[in-house]
Structure 1
Amino acid sequence: MNKALKNPTVFILFLLPGLILFFMFFIYPIFSSIYYSFTSWNGVSSTVKYVGFNNYEKALGQERFWISVRNNGFFILFSCFIQVPLIVFFSLLIANVKRLKGLYKTTVFLPSIMSTAVIGILWGFIYEPDIGLLNKIFGIFGIDKIYWLSDEKFAMLSILVTNAWQWTGFYIVMVLAAILSIPKELDEAAAIDGATGFQRATKITLPLITPIISVVIMLSIAGAMKAADIILVMTKGGPAGSTEVMATYMIKYAITNFKYGFGNTIAVLIFIFTLIITVVYQLLIARRNERIEY
């Protein structure tokens, strides 16, 4: 077997199926999108008209496009500064539970395996102005009825909370696995030296799980840039485009309005923005936390 693997022909034959799939489902779609982004095409006609950078000028000149970019920014900020700290906090709590730890892990993970459509409908009932659970609770304290999904002031926040509820459990399981992999001797030695639980968490646990927290932030950024399904289910980008993100903006043009060329322009812009953000994050933050030695 070792002799066969040293043969270049055999080695290439082993790699070939993976390379073909990689080309078909990654490389070709990217270059195809770039090509069509410079065209005016409805996705059906055999006529493809080259328009140069007109689509890019049109997109970058539209106010609604920049509103969608801003909303993607809200997703990123909410994920990094609210969701991630909560993920770490709950992971530390569950890690220190002595009984029913498996039950807690299963419970927090459940929303992640549910369909986004189901979650959108479920939270739609929670946000319902007249009979929704949230307004019923607020009504007890004398707070007036709030139109969570139809008021521009609250619609985006409602989407962010729902999205966070769906994916927080998935990331908690990741962070929890990192916490439980830390040698117990480190924590026990600190406890013997008189360190409190808070000190052990902040001085030992958090520094050692920094790499996985960095991964969680990267995944959160990537998820924020491609968010679309939860918005399409709950608000369809409304009210008045206040919850529109780049992905839903792209879908409306490419599929609903049959402007496939312009839709591909938005897709390329999403790719470029995501690439810039991830590269900047990797250079400024992630590289410092790549390796932790126990």
Structure 2
Amino acid sequence: MDKTLRKPLTYILFVLPALILFIAFFIYPIMDAIYYSFTSWNGISKNVKFIGIENYTTVMSDGEFWSSVKNNGYFILFSLFIQVPIIIIFSLLISNVKRLRGLYKTAVFMPSVMSTAVIGILWGFIYEPDIGLFNQILSVFGVEKIYWLSDKSWAMISILITNAWQWTGFYIVMVLAAILSIPKELDEAAMIDGATGVQRAIRITVPLIMPIISVVIMLSIAGAMKAADIVLVMTKGGPAGATDVMATFMLRNSITSFKYGFGNSIAVLIFVFTLVITALYQFLVARRVERIEY
């Protein structure tokens, strides 16, 4: 067995199946998208015309594209400054529950396993102007009904709330697992020294779980950059493009408008933007978060 493992061919044979799948389903599609992004093609005919960087210059000068980039930015900002703090707070609260902790974990995790289409339809009823839950509550306080998904002022925030509701539970379970892995002796020692619950959370628990929080932030950024399904289900990018994100802008141009080459240039830009943002985060923040050893 030892002689077998010393042979490089053995390692190659183990790695080869995964490498083939990686090339077939990741590298090849990326190369294919890059190639077609330099062409004018409708995705159906055999006539593929090479046009150089024309698609990219058209995209970069398109105001609707930059509006969709801005909306992806809203997804990122909402995740970082609202969703992540909520995740940490709820994780800390659930970790201190003595009874029915499993029930709470299941309850917060449930939306994450539901179909986005189901969640979009469910929240569509909640946002319904006449009989929706939100407007029914607001009417008690004499507030005029709000057209949550058809008003430019409210449509984007409505989608951000729905998206956060779907994925917050998934991240809570991750952070909660990190909290519960912290030795109880650390918390007990702080209690003996007279630290309050809030002080223990801020000075002990949160610093110790910073590596997993960093992972949550990274996943949130990646998820924000590829957001599309919840927008398609709830607003299809409306009203008047107010909720368009880069992915929905790409789909509308490549599939609905049959501008496949143009759509691939948008896809390449999404990939590049995501790569740059995650690389910057890794370089500026994540690399400074040390791995905690208990």
Q: Which residue of 2 aligns with 1:200?
A: 200
The CA deviation string for residues 69-108 of structure 1, in whole angstroms up to 9 with x for no partner, is 0000000000000000000000000000010000000000
Task: Tell which deviates more after alignment, 253-262 or 149-158.
Answer: 253-262
Q: Which residue of 1 aligns with 2:59?
A: 59
Partner amino acid for 2:70? R
- What is the rounded CA distance, in whole Å, between the counterparts of 2:81 and 2:279 in structure 1? 19
- What is the rounded CA distance, in whole Å, between the counterparts of 2:290 and 2:253 in structure 1? 40
Partner amino acid for 2:155? A
**Cα drift, residue 290 of structure 1:** 3.6
Partner amino acid for 1:205? T
Q: Which residue of 2 aligns with 1:256?
A: 256
Q: Which runs of 5+ in 2 are unaligned?
A: none
The CA deviation string for residues 127-180 of structure 1, in whole angstroms up to 9 with x for no partner, is 000000100000000000100000000000000000000000000000000000
The CA deviation string for residues 42-66 of structure 1, in whole angstroms up to 9 with x for no partner, is 1111111011110000001011000
TM-score (normalizing by structure 1): 0.99
Q: Which residue of 2 aligns with 1:287?
A: 287
Task: Tell which deviates more after alignment, 243-252 or 2-11.
Answer: 2-11
Partner amino acid for 1:19? L
CA RMSD of the aligned region, Å? 0.7
Q: Which residue of 2 aligns with 1:138?
A: 138
Partner amino acid for 1:124? G
Q: Which residue of 1 aligns with 2:40?
A: 40
Q: Which residue of 2 aligns with 1:150?
A: 150
- What is the rounded CA distance, in whole Å, between the counterparts of 2:24 and 2:62 in structure 1? 33
Q: Which runs of 5+ in 1 are unaligned?
A: none
- What is the rounded CA distance, in whole Å, between the counterparts of 1:147 and 1:58 in structure 2? 34
- What is the rounded CA distance, in whole Å, between the counterparts of 1:2 and 1:82 in structure 2? 53
TM-score (normalizing by structure 2): 0.99
* 1:225 equivalenced with 2:225 (yes/no): yes
Q: Which residue of 2 aligns with 1:209?
A: 209
Task: Tell which deviates more after alignment, 276-285 or 111-120.
Answer: 276-285
1:99-110 alignment to 2 at 5 Å?
99-110=99-110
Q: Which residue of 2 aligns with 1:20?
A: 20
- What is the rounded CA distance, in whole Å, between the counterparts of 1:54 and 1:33 in structure 2? 15
Q: Which residue of 2 aligns with 1:272?
A: 272
How many residue pairs are counted as aligned between the two chains? 294
**Cα drift, residue 224 of structure 1:** 0.2
Aligned residue for 1:98, secondary structure, equals coil
The CA deviation string for residues 218-274 of structure 1, in whole angstroms up to 9 with x for no partner, is 000000000000000000000000000000001111111111101100000001111
